[in-house]
Structure 1
């Protein structure tokens, strides 16, 4: 097992029973990630800032040009009925995890059958944006940010072993070394958590443009060995390269014309936290 030790008491959860790890993937025995409470708070705040600029309204949102709403601090994807998207859906898995953690999930959310987003498209979502249900969902997500951060942490945990196994055999040793280096610092753990949440593990066959993926696996494979650069420096550079390639390969020009600049700004935040009283 990959042992990701959470030395933290998260908002809305305790340290005794952490529930089932999302995804259930196998993992490497040689990597241990650990965050102290204030470091976990810092990572959760960084992810919320990346996805929502810290704005309450953005906790339940539907981006222009997308076929699905995005929810929570990690902008977890939730597909409407009959929408078959290429990206890995994460909001249903989050709600299952939160139920295991005994969070007070809104009754109307639990009663959905099947568990699909109740708005068929962005126009219907915008028409319902001031409804009681949407307001209740935003309040729920605002009050459970700690459990959401834990879910993101554990998604990264459960992915690492499968990513190493999926890597080209000749690169596995180098990737394992880079993962060990990244896992040794708060900034590196933040980068791993955020990137998996942001662009996925890189394992799903559908998450490819022109045969090339853009997830964590692809970033790790693309990491070079620049003299004097830390693993986090090299991760940041590789992530920018992979995301630029994705935008270049995308059929939808919005990725190149509008989204890429924000993605590159995001990966620039993959740095160690500034020293201070909080850390």
Structure 2
């Protein structure tokens, strides 16, 4: 039994180095397009969002973390200077949970409350992505965030869609980008303070933000989980823009015409799939937090 516990918490170099290499290769594949465009000085109105709105860089994504409570043999030289790591017996390395919780404890508490509350709350599937439409409501062409993209049905028709549909956005970080004219049209008034009380898993922006929360938790989140969250955020971002008022056909993305019944049905169908995937990732993040707390308590004891 003692030997099994040792295997569960210690990884030899032949065990962990291939995992770290596989992680770097996967991260590089996921960021290849963005990195190539950055070198050419080009931008991408859909995909760059994942690297401009969210703060995790391609270099940070390449760093593989095993999670809390795992000792990596022979990793001291490589990881001794990494943030929130400490050396063990001069040659090995692990996440320093004492230092981690002293610095990130408040963040861990917040993410744990938010994700737990989101899992408990029934998802809503009736918003149809109108948050993106509210972000351009009554704007002139010069005021649009993505000025290189035309509006798919024109400015006047876009405004009419906003005016003819009920808007009930629950996500503060979407709502805060509503135009001044669109803000009062929202049935709800989400705030940063009410985020834990309003976040619900049907929201596409809440689904993308699962990646943000995983990244903010840093080394207690296993590398594979972080990249799985990035994949979900990328998939959601494409649907978010396909359902937006922008014409993204130049990127090979067909529109989801949420102003029509068939578009609403398609959006809700995709929403349900993202909800299931997002909730699975939320549960895995909460498991990583639970593991970190348990190991930290054992070390403190």
Please give the TM-score of this superposition, normalised by the length of structure 1.
0.25
Which is helix-richer, 1 or 2?
2
Larger Rg: 2
Please give the TM-score of this superposition, normalised by the length of structure 2.
0.24
